[in-house]
């Protein structure tokens, strides 16, 4: 995996994805390894983030790497009109690896084509969020003991939800059944459904969250993302479509876990947080180990 870009989760084979999870397991047991002490990692965030940026930076720090970058493009020369191409060419001179989040779909792929160092996509618009996908796979495997033959319920904004797009594509390698709960306006895009069809797997579409609770192994909640709507009236119509609370969980499987890429707004009531089903905060913590593994593999410090 040395020097590979990670732009879409499909850039990594099933075997490579599983290898990242195995290396991440080692980092969970032994997180402080200064194996990137001679490396510089640039985190370029053109869109807000808490978990992705800080977990990358925490991971890099624990591996001894130095961090440069920005968390707000208005503090960079982008604000003066510098192009993305020129920014990436410059940062390639200063860092061994670029981690980039950008609101435009395809921007990370473009960055990887002009950069002279590897690029990791930390989310490009409504397209892909492959590192979130890997930490989601890690969390599912850790809580369920496997990735195969699970009933996965995705709930909320399946249209613009880049984490759902990446995770659906990855779980198609594992014979999962997909239960897609969304308002009609926010259904999973056809190109992602096509991936499921191509693998001859099953998907079912619902508008009621209660329909999937009794049999789901994983309920993957998502936020309806205000920032993705061109028409805010459309957002207002669907923003409260699904609110999962503790009472609704009666009758779910004992082993069921609730995941959420976070941040949440109101789609998971806080009374769920103390139930044994809530796993979203541990899920975010797993992001540090997975990102340690990714950086170590891409920068050649692990094989
Ligand atoms: N899951 C995720 O991408 O969270 P942030 O937007 O806070 O990085």
Q: Which H or E run contains 163?
A: helix 162-171
Please report, in tens digits, the pLDDT of each residue of the chain (303 residues total). 999 999 999 999 999 999 999 999 999 999 999 999 999 999 999 999 999 999 999 999 999 999 999 999 999 999 999 999 999 999 999 999 999 999 999 999 999 999 999 999 999 999 999 999 999 999 999 999 999 999 999 999 999 999 999 999 999 999 999 999 999 999 999 999 999 999 999 999 999 999 999 999 999 999 998 888 888 988 888 898 999 999 999 999 999 999 999 999 999 999 999 999 999 999 999 999 999 999 999 999 999
Alpha-carbon span 157 to 224, nearest angstrom: 5
Q: What distance in angstroms lies between residue 20's CA and the mean position of ligand 1's atoms?
A: 20
Residue 152 DSSP SS3: strand
Top mutation candidate among 47, 69, 123 for ligand 1, by most atoms within 8 Å of CB = 123
In this structure, are 196 and 266 located in the same domain? yes
Residue nearest to atom 4 of ligand 1 (CA): 51
Q: Is 218 part of any domain?
A: yes
b/e per residue 23-36 (b: at least 16 CB within 10 A): bbbebbeeeebebb
Ligand 1 pocket test: pick from 48, 50, 268 the residue with the most ligand atoms within 8 Å of its Cβ.
Answer: 50
Q: Looking at the domain assignment, is residue 82 inside a domain? A: yes
Q: What is the DSSP letter of 244?
A: B
Report the CATH number at residue 119. Answer: 3.40.50.1370
Nearest CA to ligand 1 atom 3: 52
**26 within domain boundaries:** yes
User: Nearest-CA neighbor of 126 among 166, 155, 184?
Assistant: 166
Using the atom order of ligand 1, give the atom closest to the CA of residue 284. 1
Q: Say if residue 111 is in the same domain as residue 145.
A: no
Torsion sign (Cα): 161, 162, 164, 168: positive
pTM given for the model = 0.96
**Are residues 89 and 72 part of one domain?**
yes
Q: Give, using CA atoms, the residue closest to atom 1 of ligand 1.
A: 261
């Amino acid at each position: 995996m040395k020097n590979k870009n990670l732009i879409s989760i499909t850039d990594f084979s099933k075997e490579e994805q599983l290898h990242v999870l195995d290396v991440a397991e080692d980092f969970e047991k032994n997180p402080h390894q200064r194996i990137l002490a001679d490396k510089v990692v640039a985190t370029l965030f053109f869109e807000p983030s808490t978990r992705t940026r800080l977990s990358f930076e925490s991971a890099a720090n624990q591996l001894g790497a130095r961090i440069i970058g920005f968390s707000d493009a208005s503090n960079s020369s982008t604000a003066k009109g510098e192009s993305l191409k020129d920014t990436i060419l410059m940062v390639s001179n200063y860092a061994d690896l670029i981690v980039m989040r950008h609101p435009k779909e395809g921007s990370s792929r473009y960055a990887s084509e002009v950069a002279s160092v590897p690029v990791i996509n930390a989310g490009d618009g409504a397209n892909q969020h492959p590192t979130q996908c890997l930490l989601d796979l890690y969390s599912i495997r850790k809580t369920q003991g496997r990735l195969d033959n699970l009933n996965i319920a995705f709930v909320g904004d399946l249209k613009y939800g880049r984490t759902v797009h990446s995770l659906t594509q990855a779980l198609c390698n594992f014979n999962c059944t997909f239960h897609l709960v969304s308002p009609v306006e926010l259904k999973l895009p056809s190109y992602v459904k096509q991936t499921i069809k191509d693998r001859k797997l099953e998907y079912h579409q619902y508008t009621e969250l209660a329909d999937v609770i009794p049999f789901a192994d994983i309920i993957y909640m998502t936020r309806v993302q205000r920032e993705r709507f061109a028409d805010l009236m459309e957002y207002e119509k669907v923003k409260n479509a699904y609110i999962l609370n503790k009472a609704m969980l009666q009758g779910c499987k004992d082993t069921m876990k609730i995941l959420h890429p976070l941040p949440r707004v109101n789609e998971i009531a806080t009374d769920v947080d103390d139930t044994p089903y809530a796993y979203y905060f541990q899920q975010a913590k797993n992001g540090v180990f997975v990102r340690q593994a990714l950086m170590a593999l891409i920068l050649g410090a692990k094989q």
